[in-house]
């Protein structure tokens, strides 16, 4: 057995143990606590500083030597219901270390307590706050995984529609952009993705949207949004993940709209595999790829490889 297969088996077993502890009576608060704890280790060194971004909780995640002269605004995944700067600390810390940039993680409001458009409103507020600190939009890049990747796209389309300055570039990690989960990969990859399944994704979509929400609306589903005028995009996805077709569709639509787009596919990787940095070598490599892409887009911030 090669090292990658062994790592994937360890991840699959750990996820199975985590999910086995959840039942019909498990509260969303408990799931959030468990999710945070599950991704707590390994923990790369980084300074964590809480800030109030005009009412939105946000956290500077800064690896040693990182600069705030160029910033990556990070929007975490978790189906709009779980996830935080705690669960995503490792990803953000490595992204900061690899890019040389400070990362600002946004703890946007979550469903079911706060349904759409709360998450997008908070992302927009955090972006405006960051610009108000004196940082030019051309020195800001976006990054997000899963639902956070979708939020990044929605934020950019909202800024474009309002004729506001856009960030320089975005890296989207396993973006979940189809709230109807219509791609063939939702069934074809069901046996190879230990992270999520179509039924789970549809349940999260319903919880996020509420009874009156429309999953095909462009303001909630980037698959149906106009993408023209967006900055360059790096889209990463695992070939084994359930929402793989979301990444393909987004890349195809972005290219058709004239957006400079790079689609990066990773063999055998499940959904949002970058979260497993320190456990999967491919996750480390994908974060390094995203960091290089964003630092170059931001004007050549010195690249630092985290060991």
Q: Which residues participate in catalysis according to the annotation? A: 146, 241, 271
Q: What gap in Å lies between CA 58 and CA 52, rounded to an integer?
A: 6
Question: Quick check: 144 and 208 in contact, CB under 8 A?
Answer: no
Question: Quick check: 222 and 153 in contact, CB under 8 A?
Answer: yes
Q: Which long-range contacts (CB under 8 A, 24 or more apart) does 107-112 make?
A: 107/56, 107/57, 107/58, 107/59, 107/76, 108/56, 108/75, 108/151, 110/32, 110/78, 110/80, 110/81, 110/82, 110/83, 111/80, 111/81, 111/207, 111/208, 112/28, 112/81, 112/207
| Helix ranges restricted to H, the chain | 3-20, 28-38, 89-99, 118-132, 147-161, 185-188, 198-209, 244-256, 281-297
* DSSP helix/strand/coil, 117: coil
Question: Quick check: 259 and 228 in contact, CB under 8 A?
Answer: yes
Q: Are strands 233-238 and 169-173 parallel, antiparallel or unpaired?
A: parallel
Q: What is the DSSP letter of 175?
A: -
In what side-by-side order are the strands of the sheet with 67-75? 47-53, 56-62, 101-106, 67-75, 140-145, 169-173, 233-238, 261-266
The residue to which tokens 């051309």 are assigned:
138
Tokens of 295: 């630092």
């Amino acid at each position: 057995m090669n090292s990658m297969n062994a790592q994937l088996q360890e991840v699959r077993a750990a996820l199975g143990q985590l999910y086995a502890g959840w039942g019909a009576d498990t509260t969303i608060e408990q799931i959030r606590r468990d999710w945070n704890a599950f991704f707590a280790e390994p923990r790369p060194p980084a300074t964590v500083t809480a800030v109030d971004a005009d009412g939105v909780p946000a956290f500077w995640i800064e690896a040693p030597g990182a600069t705030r002269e160029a910033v990556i605004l990070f929007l975490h995944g978790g189906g709009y219901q779980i996830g935080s700067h705690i669960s995503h600390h490792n990803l953000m810390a490595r992204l900061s270390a690899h890019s040389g940039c400070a990362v600002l993680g946004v703890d946007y409001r979550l469903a079911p307590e706060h349904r759409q458009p709360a998450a997008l409103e908070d992302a927009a507020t955090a972006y405006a706050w960051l610009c108000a600190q004196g940082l030019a939009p051309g020195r800001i890049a976006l990054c997000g995984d899963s639902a956070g990747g979708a939020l990044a796209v929605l934020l950019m389309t909202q800024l474009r529609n309002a004729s506001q300055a856009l960030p320089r570039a975005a890296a989207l990690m396993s973006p979940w952009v189809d709230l109807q989960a219509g791609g063939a990969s939702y069934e074809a990859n069901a046996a190879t993705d230990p992270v999520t399944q179509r039924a789970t994704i549809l349940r999260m979509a319903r919880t996020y949207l509420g009874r009156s929400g429309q999953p095909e609306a462009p303001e909630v589903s980037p698959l149906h949004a106009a993408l023209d005028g967006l900055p360059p995009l790096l889209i990463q996805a695992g070939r084994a993940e359930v929402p793989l077709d979301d990444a393909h569709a987004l890349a195809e639509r972005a290219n058709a709209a004239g957006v400079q787009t790079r689609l990066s596919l990773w063999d055998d990787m499940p959904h949002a595999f970058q979260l497993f940095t320190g456990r999967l070598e491919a996750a480390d490599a994908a974060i390094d790829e995203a960091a290089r892409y964003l630092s170059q887009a931001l004007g050549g911030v010195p690249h630092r490889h985290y060991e």
